Structure formats: C-alpha cells, structure tokens
C-alpha cells in the first residue's frame, strides 16, 4: 500500500481533467417509528420534500432544514443503522439565540446555549467538535464556531446548533456569496454596519462610499477572507 501523500487541492495534479461537482445533499437518519419522526421534523419547521411508501415494506421520507442545501431521509428499510445512532449532526446558524427560540416556540426541547472549556476533550459531557466540557452560555467573545445548543429527536439522534458569522478561509468560494434567508442577509448587514461604524471612527470622517465597503465586508466575512479595515 502506498504511503505517498496526495494533495487533492493542487490544481496542477489533474491538469486537463474537468472538475466534477459532488454535492453532498442527503444524510440518512435511523428511526424506529417513521410517523413519530415525521411529526417531529415537521414540527421543527423543516420542509417535507417527499413521503414515498411502496406498500411493500419500504418507505422513505425526506425533509430539508430552512436554507439548507442538504436534506435528511428516514423511513422503513432505508438503513441498517440502529435508531438514535446518528450523532453530531451540525446545523449552522448565524444567530443561535434566534434559532434556539424558534425551536422553543415550536415546543421542541433544546439545551441552554453553551461553549467549550478551552478545548478540553476529557470530561463527562458528550463529545462534540470543540471539546467535552460544556460551559453554560454563549462564547463570551461571540466568536464564530464557538457557541452551541443541542437537541435530540424522539429516537435520540443528536443535533447541534453551531453559530457561525465569519468563516475560516477555504470553506466558501470567495467568488460566490449566498445567503440562506432574509434574516441571514439582515444579520450580515448589521455586522457590516457595526464594523463600518468603527471604520468611520478610525478615519474621523463619513465614508460616502459605504455601499462598496459593506459589500466587500459581507463577501469577505462569508468566504473567510481578510475583512476590510
């Protein structure tokens, strides 16, 4: 077996080969009671895309979270995985407080917001991306990737809200800017407005070219690029 490292992001390694887009669009969730799961995910406000029943011991249901390019499917005879075994399913939100309130308003049980204890990976809390010790409340500095809230479906499949406002480099195409909803776009405008206010304080004058500054800030924030000063 070869141990040679492969640099899959090297544009010269596949010269002359056209790129084939591979869109990750479906995650299979193992459940024990299909109708109960359908009622739960419908109560979250997710879009019901399909409910196909063959009438011959096979059924598949698909839901899509608001603004998501990825859907979930569950049903009867769609996966051998044990019900409740899907864990660490991340839902990325730009305002975790609003996202959490939306679920509470729908009668869904969800934890308080929490953040990690400086990347501690040993502890009694269940594992998640940034550590195993949950500290109550959002990240004190409101950093992206650091504030969470979690909930479970009736089978115990585990979901995490993770708040991200500024992306790390490499996750998004810097030439493409998209917002999943009007709320996400409004939030981006508010953050740009606050940053632009600091910019005008530093320069000591009104910036008449604020639309270009806002646009540059919002694109860079989403793509993980260098923010304008």
* 130-143 per-position pLDDT tens digit: 889 999 999 998 89
- Secondary structure (DSSP) of 39-100: HHHHHTT-EEEEEEE-SSS-EEEEEE-TT-S-EEEEEESS--SPTT----EEEEES-HHHHH
3 state SS of 192:
helix
* Radius of gyration for the chain, computed over Cα atoms and rounded to the nearest angstrom: 21
Residue 168 scores a pLDDT above 50 = yes
Find the helix packing angle between 182-203 and 210-223, rounded to 10°. Answer: 120
Q: Return the pLDDT at 3.
A: 41
Confidence of residue 6 (pLDDT cuts 50, 70, 90): very low
Backbone phi, psi, residue 61, to 5° = -120, 140
pLDDT at 157 over 70: yes
| pLDDT one-digit tens code per residue, 40-54 | 999 999 999 999 999
pLDDT band at 7 (very low <50, low <70, confident <90, very high): very low
Per-residue pLDDT tens for 27-40?
999 999 999 999 99
What confidence tier does 59 reach under pLDDT thresholds 50, 70, 90?
Answer: very high
Q: Are strands 71-76 and 147-152 parallel, antiparallel or unpaired?
A: unpaired
CA angle 30, 36, 37 (to 5 degrees): 40
CA distance 117 to 121: 9
Q: Where are the alpha helices (DSSP H) in 141-223?
A: 182-203, 210-223
pTM for the whole structure: 0.71
pLDDT in tens, 80-104: 999 999 999 999 998 999 999 999 9
- CA pair distance 216, 225, nearest whole angstrom: 10
Contact between residue 110 and residue 104 where contact means Cβ atoms under 8 Å apart: yes
The backbone region for 145, taken as left when phi is positive above 0, alpha when psi lies in -120 to 50, beta otherwise, is left
């Amino acid at each position: 077996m070869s141990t040679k490292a492969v640099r899959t992001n090297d544009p010269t390694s596949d010269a002359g080969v056209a790129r084939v887009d591979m869109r990750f669009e479906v995650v299979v969730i193992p459940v024990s009671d299909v109708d109960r799961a359908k009622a739960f995910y419908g109560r979250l406000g997710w879009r019901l895309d399909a409910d196909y029943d063959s009438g011959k011991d096979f059924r598949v249901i698909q839901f899509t979270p608001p603004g998501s390019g990825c859907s979930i499917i569950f049903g009867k005879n769609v996966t051998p995985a044990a019900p409740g075994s899907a864990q660490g399913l991340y839902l990325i939100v730009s305002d975790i407080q609003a996202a959490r309130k939306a679920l509470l308003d729908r009668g869904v049980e969800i934890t308080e917001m929490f953040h990690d204890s400086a990347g501690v990976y040993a502890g009694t809390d269940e594992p998640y991306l940034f550590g195993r010790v949950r500290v109550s409340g959002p990240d004190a500095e409101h950093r992206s990737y650091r504030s969470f809230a979690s909930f479970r479906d009736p089978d115990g499949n585990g979901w995490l809200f993770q708040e991200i406002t500024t992306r790390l480099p490499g996750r998004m195409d810097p030439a493409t800017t998209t917002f999943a909803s009007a709320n996400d776009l409004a939030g981006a405008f508010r953050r740009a407005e606050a940053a632009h206010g600091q910019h005008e304080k530093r320069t000591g004058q009104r910036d008449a070219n604020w639309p270009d500054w806002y646009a540059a800030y919002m694109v860079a924030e989403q793509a993980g690029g260098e923010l304008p000063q």
